[in-house]
């Protein structure tokens, strides 16, 4: 029996991953949410991990509010980097594998073709800096690691940190009849956490440690993503494309952050379905 600890188990990815792994035979799942573990507290992290003695630790917890990270860089670094380091250290101490979830925002967005795992990472906002630093912590402290970078996550639990997710925000505003101005000059791959969870479950079965990009297939702008949400749900409201400059968010964001998934294909993991199919599935599952 393999024991897997999921940290951040109430989040979008953490909750889907818990569901995904519960269905697998030979696996015992243990979960810790923010009320049970504090990543900023070294003794809380070490006590939890060395006490539970899992074979694999999956760290899905993070400070994910990208604009708020600009206002509170020390909190971002403490949670996403130093806290991730505590998790990796404690995992290594008990010879457990450590899985760290990272982001497309480690890239600056200057490319216009999908980023591979070997492309140099130059984050342009504090969130990306804190996550890249978290990656370095994990690589340095825990040799048996997987770093999984993904993009534009949405899941049925909704991001508690973000107070929902992009899909839910669009639906809520459209139901209120609010006009929507959505950026069309940032290209990404929105990814359903249910699909990402299934791929992570396959990945940790392989034993090929390292860094991997995992997203749904295809790419779109936030504007096209919003349009697809309205088209599929049939909700009607005014939708206008805008630019990053006009929108004026606090944090800079990469203009292009699509991740190439070739490496997972090379180790025998099937590519994830298209972002459009994943979105349809999400919309059919939400209540």
Assess 159 for contact with ligand NAP (CB under 6 A).
yes
Strands 239-242, 180-183: parallel, antiparallel or unpaired by DSSP? parallel
150 binds ligand NAP (CB under 6 A): yes
Residue 105 falls in the annotated catalytic set: no
Distances (CA, A) of 260 to 136, 188, 193, 263: 21, 11, 18, 8
Given the residues 86, 100, 115, 127, select the one marked as catalytic.
Answer: 127
Stretch 10-29: interaction string toward ligand NAP, x if CB under 6 A: xxxxx---------------
Among residues 251, 287, 286, 1, which one has the least CA distance to residue 126? 251
Nearest-approach distance from CB 32 to ligand NAP, in angstroms: 8
Nearest to 65 by CA among 144, 130, 149: 130
Q: Answer yes or no whether residue 98 interacts with ligand NAP by CB under 6 A.
A: no
Asked if 63 interacts with ligand NAP (CB under 6 A), we say: yes
Task: Tally helices (H) and strands (E) across the chain.
Answer: 12, 12
27-32 sheet: strands from edge to edge = 27-32, 2-7, 56-59, 97-103, 145-150, 210-213
Of 123 and 152, nearer to ligand NAP (C-beta) is 152
* Residue 160 interacts with ligand NAP (CB under 6 A): yes or no: yes
Please count the residues of this chain forming the interface with ligand NAP, following the rule CB under 6 A: 30
Chain residue at closest Cβ approach to ligand NAP: 11
CB 219 within 8 A of CB 270: no
Question: Taking Cα atoms as reference points, which of 110, 198, 183 lies closest to residue 150?
Answer: 198
* Choice between 14 and 268, CB closer to ligand NAP: 14
Task: Tell the smallest beta-carbon distance from residue 193 to ligand NAP (Å).
Answer: 6
Tell me the CA end-to-end span of the chain in Å, nearest whole number. 34
**Binding of ligand NAP by 217 (CB under 6 A):** no
Q: Which residues bind ligand NAP (CB under 6 A)?
A: 8, 10-14, 33-34, 37-40, 60-64, 79, 83, 101, 103, 131, 150-153, 159-162
Q: Which residues are catalytic?
A: 127
């Amino acid at each position: 029996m393999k024991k897997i600890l999921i940290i951040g188990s109430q989040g979008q990815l953490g909750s889907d991953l818990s569901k995904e792994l519960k269905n697998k035979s030979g696996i015992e799942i243990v979960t810790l949410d923010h009320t049970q573990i504090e990543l900023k507290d070294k003794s809380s992290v070490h006590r939890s991990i060395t006490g539970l003695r899992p074979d694999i630790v999956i760290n899905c917890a993070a400070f994910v509010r990208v604009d708020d990270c600009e206002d509170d860089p020390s909190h971002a670094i403490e949670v996403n980097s130093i806290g991730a380091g505590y998790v990796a250290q404690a995992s290594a101490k008990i010879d457990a594998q450590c899985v760290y979830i990272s982001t497309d925002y480690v890239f600056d967005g200057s490319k216009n073709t999908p980023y591979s795992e070997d492309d140099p990472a130059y984050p342009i906002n504090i969130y990306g800096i804190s996550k890249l630093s978290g990656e370095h912590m994990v690589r340095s402290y825990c040799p048996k690691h997987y770093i999984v970078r993904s993009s534009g996550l949405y899941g049925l639990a909704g991001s508690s940190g973000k107070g929902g997710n992009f899909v839910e925000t669009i639906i809520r505003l459209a139901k209120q009849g609010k006009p929507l101005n959505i950026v069309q000059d940032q290209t990404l791959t929105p990814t359903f956490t249910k699909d990402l969870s299934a791929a992570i479950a396959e990945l940790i079965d392989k034993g090929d440690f390292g860094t991997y990009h995992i997203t749904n297939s295809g790419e779109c702008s936030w504007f096209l993503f919003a349009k697809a949400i309205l088209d599929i749900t049939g909700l009607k409201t005014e939708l206008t494309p805008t630019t990053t400059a006009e929108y004026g968010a606090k944090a800079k964001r990469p203009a292009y952050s699509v991740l190439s998934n070739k490496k997972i294909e090379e180790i025998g993991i099937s590519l994830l379905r298209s972002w459009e199919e994943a979105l349809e599935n999400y919309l059919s599952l939400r209540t």
